[in-house]
C-alpha cells in the first residue's frame, strides 16, 4: 500500500487531495502545520509527501528542505515530494525547495492522481 502525507491548512485542498488519491491501494494522512511534517513523516514513513506552498509559519519550501536534509542525514527514508503552488510564476520555487515536482492550484484530480502515480 502506498502512503501519502499531505501538509495543508486548507480544508478545500485536503478534500480535493483525499478525493483524488484515497483508495484501496493508497492511504492519505494529513497535517495542518508545516512544523509537524518531519515528525509525522518519521512515524508514518510515507512514500509521497504533498506540501502546500503556504501553510502556517513553516510553509512547503521550508518543510521540503527540512525533509531533504533529514533524508541526506539518514534519519528519514527516501521519499518523493510534490509542492502545491499558488501560481505558475512560483514554479522556480519547487526547484529551490528540492521538490520532485510541482502542481499549480487549483487542483485537478486527474492531474494529481497521474502525477502521484508516476512518482510512486
Structural domains of the chain ordered from first start: 2-119 (3.40.50.2300)
pTM: 0.95
Cα angle 107-22-6, degrees, rounded to a multiple of 5: 60
Using DSSP's 3-state secondary structure scheme, residue 107 falls into coil
Separation between Cα atoms, residue 70 and residue 62, nearest integer Å = 12
Give me the tens of pLDDT residue by residue for the chain, a chain 120 residues long: 999 999 999 999 999 999 999 999 999 999 999 999 999 999 999 999 999 999 878 899 999 999 999 999 999 999 999 999 999 888 888 889 999 999 999 999 999 999 999 999
Amino acid at each position: 500500500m502506498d502512503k501519502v502525507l499531505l501538509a495543508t491548512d486548507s480544508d478545500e485542498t485536503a478534500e480535493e487531495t483525499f478525493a483524488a488519491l484515497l483508495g484501496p491501494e493508497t492511504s492519505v494522512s494529513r497535517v495542518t502545520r508545516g512544523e509537524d511534517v518531519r515528525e509525522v513523516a518519521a512515524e508514518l514513513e510515507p512514500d509521497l509527501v504533498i506540501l502546500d506552498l503556504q501553510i502556517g509559519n513553516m510553509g512547503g519550501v521550508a518543510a521540503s528542505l527540512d525533509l531533504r536534509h533529514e533524508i541526506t542525514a539518514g534519519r528519514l527514508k527516501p521519499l518523493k515530494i510534490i509542492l502545491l503552488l499558488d501560481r505558475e510564476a512560483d514554479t522556480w520555487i519547487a526547484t529551490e525547495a528540492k521538490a520532485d515536482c510541482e502542481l499549480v492550484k487549483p487542483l485537478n484530480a486527474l492531474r494529481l492522481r497521474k502525477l502521484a502515480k508516476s512518482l510512486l
